[in-house]
Amino acid sequence: MGRFRFFLERTKTVRFVRFWLFLLLAVLLFAVLYGQVKPRQYELRLFDVAKETIRSPVTVEDKEATAKLKEEAAAKVADVYTLKKEYAENRVDLLSSLFAAIESVQREAEPDRSLGDMIAKLEERLPPEWLAYLSAAEWQRLLAASPEELKTAKEAALTAVHAVMSERISQAELDTARAEAAKELEYAALSPPLREAVAKLCRQAVIPNVVYDRAATEEKRRQAMDEVKPVKILQGQVIVEEGQFITNDVYRRLELVGLLESGRPSWTAAGLLVFVLLLLAPLISYFRTETTNEKLSLYTAIFALMMTTMALIRLLPSSGAVSIGYLVPAAFGPMLVRILLGERLAMMTTIIGAVCGSLLFNEEIGTAGAVSVSLIVYFLAGGLAGTFCLPKELAKANIWRAGVFVAAVNIVSLFSLLLLKNGRYSPTEIGLLVLMAAASGVFSAILTIGLLPVLEAAFGILSPLRLIELSNPNHPLLRKLLTEAPGTYHHSIMVANLAEAACEAIGADGLLARVACYYHDIGKTKRPRYFIENQIGGNPHDHLSPQLSKNIIIAHVADGVALLRKHRLPKEIIDIAEQHHGTTLLKYFYHKAREQTEFVSEAEFRYPGPKPQTKEAAVINIADSVEAAVRSLSNPSQEKIEKIVRSIIADRLQDNQLNECDITLKELELVARSLCETLNGVFHSRIEYPEVRKEKVKHA
In angstroms, the CA 506 to CA 674 distance is 10
For residue 374, give Cα distances in angstroms to 59, 307, 399, 687.
21, 19, 26, 66
- CA end-to-end span of the chain: 95
Q: What value does the mean pLDDT take over residues 38-54? A: 72
Amino acid at 655: D
What is the pLDDT averaged over residues 430-434? 88
CB 303 within 8 A of CB 330: no
Across 149-159, average pLDDT: 84
No. of H helices and E strands in the chain? Answer: 28, 6
Q: Could you tell me the pLDDT band of residue 697, with boundaries at 50, 70 and 90?
A: very low
Same domain, 144 and 190: yes
d(CA 522, CA 517): 9
Which pLDDT value is given to residue 445?
92
* Range picked from 212-216, 271-275, 552-556 for highest mean pLDDT: 552-556
Q: Are 406 and 491 within one domain? A: no
CATH number, residue 26: 1.10.1760.20
Is 45 inside a domain boundary? no
DSSP letter assigned to residue 604: G
Per-residue pLDDT, averaged over 298-315, amounts to 89
Single out the residue in 212, 240, 275 at which a domain terminates: 212
- Band of the pLDDT at 363, cuts 50, 70, 90? low
Q: Are residues 480 and 426 in the same domain?
A: no
pLDDT tens digits, residue range 159-191?
A: 888 888 888 887 788 888 888 888 888 777 888
Contacts of 62 (CB under 8 A, 6+ apart): 230, 231, 232, 233, 253, 256
Of 147, 144, 135, the residue nearest 115 (C-alpha):
144
Range of the domain at 158: 81-212
32 with 88, same domain: the answer is: no
Total domain count, the chain = 3
| Pick from 55, 52, 56: nearest CA to 242 | 52
Q: What's the mean pLDDT in 597-605? A: 84
Q: Which residues contact 411 (CB under 8 A, 6 or more apart)?
A: 434, 437, 438
Residue 690 lies in a domain: no
**Percent of the chain predicted with pLDDT > 70:** 88
pLDDT computed for residue 370 by the predictor: 52
pLDDT of the residue at 9: 45
For 610, phi and psi rounded to 5 degrees? -75, 170
pLDDT band at 10 (very low <50, low <70, confident <90, very high): very low
Q: Is residue 460 domain-shared with residue 479, that is, in the same domain?
A: no
Same domain, 525 and 600: yes
**426 and 374, same domain (yes or no):** yes
pLDDT for residue 85 is more than 50: yes
Q: Which residue has the higher pLDDT, 243 or 614?
A: 614
- Domain of 609, CATH number, reads 1.10.3210
Let me know if residue 691 belongs to a domain. no
655 versus 115: which is more confidently predicted? 655
User: Is the predicted pLDDT of residue 696 greater than 60, yes or no?
Assistant: no
- Quick one: average pLDDT of 535-549? 85
Q: Distance between CA 452 and CA 450 in Å, rounded?
A: 6
Q: Looking at the domain assignment, is residue 159 inside a domain?
A: yes
- Cβ-based neighbours of 350, under 8 Å, separated by 6 or more: 330, 333, 334, 379, 380, 383, 384, 386, 387
Tell whether 405 and 291 lie within a shared domain.
yes
Beta bridge pairs of residue 319: 322
What sign has the CA pseudo-torsion 223, 225, 228, 233? Answer: negative
Are the C-beta atoms of 195 and 117 separated by less than 8 Å? no
Among candidate residues 191, 212, 233, the one where a domain is terminated: 212
Q: What is the mean pLDDT of the chain?
A: 82
Residue type, 617: A
Q: Do 390 and 456 fall within a single domain? A: yes
**Residues 464-477: tens digit of each pLDDT:** 778 888 999 999 99
Q: How confident is the model at residue 684 (pLDDT cuts 50, 70, 90)?
A: low
Residue 16 lies in a domain: yes
Asked if residue 372 and residue 431 are part of one domain, the reply reads yes
Q: pLDDT tens, 653-680?
A: 999 999 999 999 999 999 999 999 999 8
- 616 lies in some domain: yes
210 class by beta-carbon count within 10 Å (0-12 exposed, 13-18 middle, 19+ buried): middle
- On whether residue 629 sits in a domain, the answer given is yes
Planar angle of CA 597, 602, 606, nearest 5 degrees: 125
Whether 339 and 460 share a structural domain? yes
Res 38 pLDDT > 70 = no
Average pLDDT over every residue of 388-414: 84
Query: Based on the domain organization, do 392 and 507 belong to the same domain?
Result: no
Lowest mean pLDDT among 253-257, 510-514, 554-558: 253-257
Of 465, 496, 521, the last residue of a domain is: 465
Which residues neighbour 560 within 8 Å (Cβ) at sequence distance 6 or greater? 519, 520, 521, 522, 523, 524, 577, 578
Q: Tell me which of 305 and 200 has the higher pLDDT.
A: 305
- Residues of the chain with pLDDT > 90, as a percent, come to 29
CA–CA distance, 166 with 177 (Å, rounded to integer): 11
Asked whether residue 66 is assigned to any structural domain, the reply reads no
Q: How confident is the model at residue 150 (pLDDT cuts 50, 70, 90)?
A: confident
